Structures are given as structure tokens and as C-alpha cells.
Amino acid sequence: MKTKETKEALKSVSKEETGSLYETQSANTSLNLNYRNPIKSLFGNVGISYFNNKANLLYGYDLAGILQVQTSLAKPNHTHGISAYTNISRSIDAIASTVKLGGNYSLSSGSQLAQGEILKYNGKSYSLVPSINTKIRSWSSFNYSFAFSESRNTVKTENANFKPIRTISQQVQLNIFPLKALTINLGYEYFYNNTIVSGSRTMSFGDIGCKYKYAGLEFQLSYSNIFNAKQYISASYSNLNSYYSAYDLRPAEVLLQVRMKLK
């Protein structure tokens, strides 16, 4: 078992349009523990960290129509938080599999300007990520992972809660090796976000690939976005700000690639 502890102290200064110098001081400390047991094929690590940031200017955003304008106020303020994580993996020879479990939890608090008013907030988030990698005989392998996360923000000044953001994602990968020189890959991804209001809260993506090696050449045929998904949408919190992003995706396509080694 190994233990690692780190501490940092940083200071930065920058010039603001208000004429004031923006000064920050930050202190960070962390503790990490690692565990290894090759005999039992068991590995794991846990960690915890703390940060405390101090600044002489308080930032925020005002809305001017569809524009978001950054503002600042000469007021000392603190932002601090704590986070913890853990990862565990275990190889199980009886089923030729490796099982993993990961997770993290974080808390933070601070202040922000909003429409000229100083608001104090608390932020909380956590996630859980189990997965399994399995070898199915000598001709195929299977990978599956699941991830759940939730973020919550609370305005202490007004005793108001933001709507929590919950996301779920699943990834499935099947690899088939019918011949020594031939590999077939089948992939599927599923996403869910409870905050999506325009469009579906669920998204599915699929890909099929085939790779063949012959006489120093590698032929790769791929069929991507087989469900012809139009967009990928995400949402997140940053202090008191909510961010929603939509990315247009390329339509379903088939691509053939040929690679060769030059001696």
C-alpha cells in the first residue's frame, strides 16, 4: 500500500477593466492511497483533496437581451471545496473477466454576482461508474460500462434549489475474431439527460467496423452513426451558471481505409 500527500499554494495577479488588480491566492492539499495484491488480482486506490481560493474581486454575469456580460465587484471572497474518489478492479479467472468500480463525490461553496446581487451557493456532485471486460473464448471479447452522475446547486442566500442534472450513459463493445487477420467490432452508446427540454432526453449511437490484414496491407471498413443521430446534447453546472450545449453530428457514413507499412 502506498500513501501520497501533496500540498500547493499559488498566487496570481491580473489587470481588470475596472482598474483594479485581480489577485488570487489558492491552497490545495490531497491524500491518495493505493492498494495492490497481484496474488488475488485485486487493485484499488482512494483519494481526497481540498482547495481554498481567495480573491479580491467577485465575478458574475448580467443578461443584456441574448448577451451574457461579465461583471466584477471589488469584494474579497472565498471559494472552497472537497472531493473524494475511489477505484477498485478485480480479475476473475473463472469467467475470464475484469470487473471495475469507480466513483467520486465533491462539495463546494462560494459567492457570485447575479444581476448585481451577491449570492452564496453550495454545489454537490457525485458519480458511479461500474464496468466489466470479458473474454468470450478465444474468438471474441465483450466490454460494458455504465455511468451515473448527478449535480445539484443551492443558493443559500435565497434558500432555493436548482433542478438537479442527472445523466446516464452506457457503452457496449463486442469484438469478434473469426480469423487471425480479421477483426469485427460492434459498438453501441446510450445517453440520458433529464434536463433536455427541446428534443429527446435519450440519445443512441452505433458503429460497426471491420479490419483485415493481408500482405502488409490493412483494410478497415467502418459504418458510423448507424442510427443517423442528428445531435449530441449535454448540460452542466458551473457555480450558479447552467450550460447547455448542442453539437450537430455527421450523418451515417461508410468509410474504407487502406494502410500500408513503408520499409
Least confident of 14-23, 32-41, 132-141, 199-208: 14-23
Candidates 236, 231, 234, 256; CA nearest to 245 is 234
Determine what percent of the chain is predicted with pLDDT higher than 70: 88
What is the CB-side half-sphere exposure of residue 83 using CA atoms within 13 A?
A: 16
Least confident of 46-50, 78-82, 131-135, 151-155: 151-155
- Given the C-alpha cell 493505493, which residue does it identify? 34
Q: Which residue has the higher pLDDT, 68 or 37?
A: 37
pLDDT confidence of residue 33: 96
Q: How would you classify the pairing of strands 58-64 and 97-114? A: parallel
Q: DSSP class of residue 198?
A: S
Distance CA 128, CA 123 (A): 18
Candidates 192, 197, 133; CA nearest to 168 is 192
Instruction: Answer yes or no: is pLDDT of 63 > 80.
Output: no
Phi, psi of 95 (to 5 degrees): -120, 15
**What's the mean pLDDT in 40-58?**
93
pLDDT confidence of residue 244: 77
Q: Record the pTM.
A: 0.81
Separation in Å, CA 256 to CA 51, 130, 211: 49, 34, 10
Candidates 30, 25, 41, 37; CA nearest to 1 is 37
Instruction: Answer yes or no: is pLDDT of 259 > 60.
Output: yes
- Residue 110 CB partners (closer than 8 Å, separation 6+): 77, 78, 79, 80, 120, 121, 239
pLDDT confidence of residue 220: 94
Q: Give the pLDDT band (50/70/90) at residue 10.
A: very low
Average of per-residue pLDDT values in the chain:
86
pLDDT confidence of residue 114: 75
- Residue 211 CB partners (closer than 8 Å, separation 6+): 182, 183, 185, 218, 219, 220, 221
Distance CA 247, CA 200 (A): 14
187-243 confidence digits (pLDDT tens): 999 999 988 777 678 899 999 999 999 888 999 999 999 999 888 888 777 777 777
How do the domains of the chain map onto residue ranges? 33-47+86-260
Instruction: Answer yes or no: is pLDDT of 8 > 60.
Output: no
Instruction: Answer yes or no: is pLDDT of 180 > 50.
Output: yes
Distance CA 25, CA 12 (A): 7
Quick check: 194 and 208 in contact, CB under 8 A? no
